[in-house]
Structures are given as structure tokens and as C-alpha cells.
Structure 1
Amino acid sequence: MTGLNAAIAAHWDSASASFDDEPDHGLLDPRTRGAWRDRLRRWLPDGACDVLDAGCGTGSLALVLAEEGHRVTGVDLAPGMVARAGAKFAAAGLPGRFLVGDAARPPVGERRFDVVLVRHLVWTLPEPEAALRAWTGLLRSGGRLVLVEGRWGEAGREPEPYVPGGEALPWGGGVPAEVLAGAVAPLVRDLRVERLDGDAALWGRPVDDERYALLARARA
């Protein structure tokens, strides 16, 4: 693990204890949880799917998916996040598989998935475009890629790096929809962008920065 990757892992591991305090992380408010459930129902195919949640954090979205009948595998670099995700599933009595590992290169071997879900991860990665290739490569033919991303903070103002060496991150502070779409387009088909910043229920509050979902299908 490089020094930057080690710093990233340590940051998110230490953040795991309070991660769910954010409304859109813990999904503790029924209105926020319901808003995410509704979006996921729209984005995913009907019927039970094999879903990879890359950068699963404490497993809040994974739990919603499992409640809907999907078979979920979660991967996160931070052991603290994975432990909390596993505890949520155990408390709910639901099956789920959680792995400590690099979400940019998920350690799932030859397994393939109907859906790869990634929320608010690409901005943290040293090589986000390599991760996009890895994720699309894990989809079955016609499978769905769901990237929930954004550009954080004030327009035109670069955010402070969140870890030592973070100024080297290509998309530190988030990535505009048109930039991410340009990187993903050669890898997929049926790409579209759905704006999310106008839906305060998703975030537990109004937001004034850019937030969106990029939705696409794997090539046949």
C-alpha cells in the first residue's frame, strides 16, 4: 500500500465511528432512507440482483438493497467501516458479504455482478479512471453501473486536501458530471446523468453543490 493509500485508509477508518452521524450516511431518518430506497428501485432492475457496493462505508445503502431482496457484496478499504456494515446486517438478520480491500480493485476474483454501485468514492481515489475500468469489467453483459457523485463546496473554489498528499488526487473535492461522463462513456452504453442536488430528502437538508447519479449499462 502506498503512503497516500495508507493515509486514505487511516482517514476513513478513523471516520467510521461517526460516519453515520451524517443524514445521508446513516439513513437514520425514515424520510432520507425512503428517498434513497425510491431512487435505488428506479435505478436497479426488477427482481433480485447480485450487487457490488464498492466503497460501501458502513453499509447503509447495502442494507436498503438487501431489504429489497438483492444479494449484496460490499468492499471498503477501512476495516472499521466493514465491521460496522457487517454488524448492521447481523442485527437485521440479513445475508451480506463484506470484504476489507481496495474498492478501486475489488477483491472478488472471477465473480461478476448485475449492478455495481459506487457512491461518493471516485474523488478519494489516486487513479479513478483505472477504477472505472475495473468496475465496468465486473459487470455481466447488460449489467448496470450506478455512480452517485458530485462536486463538493463552492463553485470555482478548490477544497482543502482531506489527507496528507491529497492534493495529488485527480478528482479531489469531487468531479463534475460532464467530466465523469466523458471518462465513463467509452466503457459503457446507454449513459445518462440524473441530477440529485434538487432533492433535499436524499441529503437530509438542502444542498447547493453539484450532486448527480451517472447511470449506464455494460456493453454486450
Structure 2
Amino acid sequence: MSTDAPADPSRRPFAGSANPRAGRGESPLPTAAAAYWEAAAASFDEEPDHGLRDPAVRAAWAARLRGWLLSGPAAVLDLGCGTGSLALLAAEQGHRVTGVDRSPRMIARARAKLAGREAAFLVGDAAEPPVGERRFDAVLVRHVLWALPDARAALRRWAGLLAPGGRLVLVEGRWGEAEPIGVSAAELTSLVAPLAAWTRVESLVDDPVLWGKEVTDERYALLAEVPGRDGAVADAPLASPSG
């Protein structure tokens, strides 16, 4: 499932580490349903940071990915990949990409966008990617945690999919003033810390080109190295404080 829509992030219903209604024993919010993302697929790429059609926006995300992902060809798992815009950037940088999204229409667009490249796309749940026992050098996730019923369990699963020395790349944020939603950098760091050898938080607020507009809410990328041993992360050292 892609979770970069709706376009206005202040309308993304995330509170803490779970879908808020699900956490209260209610049905998940409609925007977490597969049908929502199926309907959104047709217009998904119209947002500057989704379709990356503006050369400046595209170049800004490409530069960030180049710094976040490991150098040299790597196996990258893009969860909630949407129409594959970030996956395409990663493939252009020489990485082998596997994308997972809940929406078949999103996946169809991603496959078309990366036709002829070393990439594979699967329909499936980002929280439980249908990749079997495969291991990846990097797990890339952008604006997905808000829609998951158990973010802590999902992070543990993602960490277990990393090869030794692999990296989590989590692009997240917290939006709104009166009733802010999303996950703050401090909250996400605390969730990732038990799984990581180190973490680093990189603010994305001061780069409006990424979003195609000026932004004032909290937007960031959290990078974490999760050493792991065949997916066993319980004994990994706690993360060092990050800025």
C-alpha cells in the first residue's frame, strides 16, 4: 500500500504507532483500505513529490537517495512504493529494486515506469512484505507508518529483512498544528533504537524543492543501520543518540 496520498499530509490520520481507530478497537480509517489506494492511483503522480515530474524535484530526491542508500549496486526493498517514482531513481543509480504496494493499480504503474530495468514489483502488505526469506541491503519506506496497525511490529519485520550492515531509510513527518498527526523524529527514533546499531535523523523541512513548495511542519528521514544475524535483531545494541 502506498501511503503518500492524500496530497496534503496534514490529512494523513496517524497517531503514535498505530492507525488511531484500530487502536481504539474500531475499524481502520478508510484511507488505510486497499480500495482507497486503487482509486488514488490514477492521479497519484500529479503531486510534485509523488510523480517527480518536475526536473528540480526529481533531482532533489535523487540527490537525497544517493546519500541515504549504500554505495555501489545494492538490493533495495521499497515498501509502499506507489507508482515507483523513488524505485526508478534507485534503479537509475544502479540498485536492484523490489517494490511492494497494496494497490494492484499502483503496482501496474510502477511496472510500466520501470519496464526494462532490474526491478520487480509485488502486490502485498508493506507491514508483511511477501518476499520470503530474502535479505536486502536497504529497506526504503516513505510515509507508510501512519497507516499501519502496529508500527513497532512492522519495524521489527523490516529490520529482519536486512542483510548484515543493511540500512533502514524511513521518510516520515508530523503535520498539523491544532491536532498534529504523524510520527515525530523523536518517537520514531525511540521505536527504532532497540533494533539499530546507530541512527541518524536528517531534516527535510529546509529543502522545499523536495515537496514542490515551502513547508513548515516536521519532515525528516531517519537512517538506521541494523546489523542483524539472519533476521535476529533482539540482541542488537541500542542506537546512539542522533541529531
Tell me the TM-score normalised to structure 2 length. 0.80
Give the number of equivalent residue pairs.
Answer: 202
Q: Does 1:4 align with 2:12?
A: no
2:200 maps to 1:192 = yes
Q: CA deviation at 1:5?
A: 8.5
* Larger fraction in helix: 1
Matched, 1:212 2:220: yes
SS of corresponding position for 1:14: helix
Q: Find 2:120's aligned residue among 91, 97, 107.
A: 97
Alpha-carbon separation, structure 1, partners of 2:29 and 2:95: 31
Deviation at 1:156, TM superposition (A): 3.7
Which residue is equivalent to 2:39?
14
CA distance in 2, matches of 1:4, 1:57: 20
Q: What does 1:67-106 align with in structure 2 at a 5 Å threshold? A: 67-90=92-115, 93-106=116-129
Instruction: After TM superposition, give the deviation of residue 128 of structure 1 in Å.
Output: 1.1
- 2:28 partner letter: L
User: For residues 54 and 5 of structure 1, do their structure 2 counterparts lie closer, same or farther at Cα, with a shift above 3 Å needed?
Assistant: farther
Q: Percent of aligned positions with the same letter in both sequences?
A: 62
Alignment partner for residue 113 of structure 1, among 136, 160, 166? 136
The answer to whether residue 63 in structure 2 is matched with residue 38 in structure 1 is yes
User: Which residue among 189, 206, 211 is the counterpart of 1:181?
Assistant: 189
Q: What residue ranges of structure 1 are gaps of 5+ in the alignment?
A: 159-172
The AA in structure 1 aligned to 2:96 is R
Aligned CA distance change for structure 1 residues 30 and 144 (closer, same or farther; 3 Å) = same
- Letter of the aligned partner of 1:22 in structure 2? E
CA deviations over 1:66-111 (Å, ceiling 9, x no partner): 0111000000011111111001012xx3121000000111000010
User: Which ranges of 4 or more aligned residues in structure 1 deviate by more than 4 Å?
Assistant: none
- TM-score after normalising by structure 1: 0.88
Q: Displacement, 1:184?
A: 0.6
Corresponding residue for residue 165 of structure 1: none
Determine helix, strand or coil for the equivalent of 1:45: coil
CA distance in 2, matches of 1:64, 1:16: 19
